[in-house]
Structure 1
């Protein structure tokens, strides 16, 4: 957390929960979020020509020689600036993948094609600094003509992220015992909300693309802060509920102890003596009643 001047005053006050060490981002080549005709018809492999790509209904995606494909996205909040890829009559999906591999920001990533699902899988290096997001492929008519190739862009204009990159961290969350019985514990952690961890430190709005990327990064940061706030609210509600329950239990225990301590011993001893005398008298009467028949039998002998 930071103050108004940007100085860190609280960092992982209660620790971070354990996080994954593998950064994995899997964008779909056929954009699985789109249904109907917006799906690749053929099974893809690296030798498939870009000009032969068709949708589910057999409509060509419209890529021709001279078209330019741009690969864009963000890494840790910074814009990825890839080299434009020019389509020829012989360029293939494999050529496109190689162009993506030449992007400096992806030098540590593994880019592969899943022919069965028709998807491009990008596995980033471990660590939040390698986090990849907002990736897309877009095509335009040529280097000078920015008119879009709508069929191709409809298919590849967005990607699906299966897992965000995270830094490895041990579970240093606070374990609080919140109940009267064994095992009634609660783990409390507060994640770091600094500009670095929210990827806000490297925002660049000097260009239109950078400004659009900044909007997405800021939205993600707001979602992260809102999520953390909701988590802390849940912690507070649970603790307040536990405090109320423990308060009621303590009050009942105090009342029980008071009843034990406030017993009138003189009255209780008198009652005990009375009951003891009555018990002894009853035993004497039973003994006398038992002896009378024995006395009569003794006279008859």
Structure 2
């Protein structure tokens, strides 16, 4: 029907042109940002899923750093205790040598002086070893239960508790050398003629306790290493899943944009043609 008031063809073409324009704008936005989902309007459900995946991967990234920091802390403490073991082994050598009847009083005095110096260093290592500005051993972080956050959720925690062994280590080291508790005190008598044989057993006991602590730290560090590997795997796959939701497929979206551009051009041409149809009414009136 020819009408001056209502141009049905023009209205229909305008609607189609508007739809093509909106679709073209969406494609250009996606190509410009690199994201398929730029607002909830693009994919409401997908955005919700992607947000949860993003929260998971971000939390896991922090947890991965936590595990590496935890391993570093444990290795620092274990390295200090390794030196404690070395000192105790030297102290055992001195006690064993002193216990022999071939050692003279002067020999034992020289050995005791070295023994005392080693006892003072035990005090220094156990009381002053630190990580990140905080003490690690006696009165420090590892002397109590330590909890590591190893995942993105509040339930993913790992607790390392070797505090009882640290308490026992303090008792054993005190028995080994008076210089452990009082580095500036009087010379010790642990490896004189009467006590040297007993000192051997005391050092052995301390070595066993220190070895137990080191084993616990090593086991915890190994577990944290496995935690890191698992987090890396889960995080990688979660990031890929989020990418499939959020990231734009440039090949597909470029094709879509080209199609919408062609539709825009065709729609503009047809709108021009439909607007000229009203002119036919005048030809009927001539």
Verify same fold: TM over 0.5.
no
The normalised TM-score by structure 1 is 0.32
Which structure shows the higher strand fraction? Answer: 1
Larger relative CO (CA 8 A, sep 6+): 1 or 2? 2
Which structure shows the higher helix fraction? Answer: 2
